[in-house]
Amino acid sequence: MAETRVGWVGIGVMGRSMCGHLLKAGYPVSLNTRTRDKATELLAEGAAWCSTPKEVAERIDITFCMVGFPSEVEQVYFGADGILAGVRAGSLVCDMSTSDPSLAIRIHETARARSAASLDAPVSGGDVGAREARLAIMVGGEKQAFDRALPLFQKMGETIALMGGPGAGQHTKMANQIAIAGTMIGTIESLLYAKTAGLGMDAVIDIIGKGAAASWSLNNLGRRIAKGDFAPGFFIKHFVKDMGIALQEARRMKLSLPGLALVNQFYIAAQAQGLENLGTQGLFKVLSAMNGAQV
């Protein structure tokens, strides 16, 4: 039985699996999430319920957090009942949400003032990567804190790296999301073209998914599109949030990213059509409708 006491705040599509891996590894877990029903399975598996994020932080050695939006990160960490209100000296807080790099730095500075450590550690790999413990975990913070958290990260992912100081994990995730934005639009346009030309989408993926066009988006989300499966492995609304952060950071750095800006507009159109709770592959519906095609 592992001795490190673990806290988890935020049980969503990915967090449920990630927290579950720590439970299965023998770590005692205390958790809190906004909707308790989402934690039913984890509680049945032995996790302890806490009424607030503050209570989680008061009980444990390492607190992990994974929520959807920077405003939620702000509340979960800095609210009156937040993690930093209960953080103990010598403990570690680790935000695995995708959020603002500047917010990661604020969390780090506040935790340090309370003699605690902090990491920003967003992930990539979607629901499948979380379920199979194959996530890429990109970490910002101090090496001593990273080394302490690494054995737990290894229960959740297989590609794990310390990218730099506080905020570096979030900047790396922005680079990841910028790359995904480009590959997603390419995947969707490719499959829409194939379908309109009378080709089987699965057959197209079988061949081009093993050549120069191969990508995670094509070989995983492309298969879902072919099946008409638009359920979220990663929500459109969260991808729009991520692209907004990346564009904001790009403006701050005086960078022009026209490809990202264009894809962002297509996803905003998806939101306007009420599709924000679909998976990112739901953009196929938007471009199909623009072209008068049936999904």
* The three-state (H, E, C) secondary structure of the chain, written as one string: CCCCCEEEECCCCCHHHHHHHHHHCCCCEEEECCCHHHHHHHHHCCCEECCCHHHHHHHCCEEEECCCCHHHHHHHHHCCCCHHHHCCCCCEEEECCCCCHHHHHHHHHHHHHCCCEEEECCEECHHHHHHCCCEEEEEEECHHHHHHHHHHHHHHEEEEEEEECCCHHHHHHHHHHHHHHHHHHHHHHHHHHHHHCCCCHHHHHHHHCCCCCCCHHHHHHHHHHHHCCCCCCCEHHHHHHHHHHHHHHHHHCCCCCHHHHHHHHHHHHHHHCCCCCCEHHHHHHHHHHHCCCCC
d(CA 28, CA 40): 16
d(CA 257, CA 279): 24
Active site includes 143?
no
Catalytic, out of 173, 195, 241, 285: 173
Catalytic residues: 173
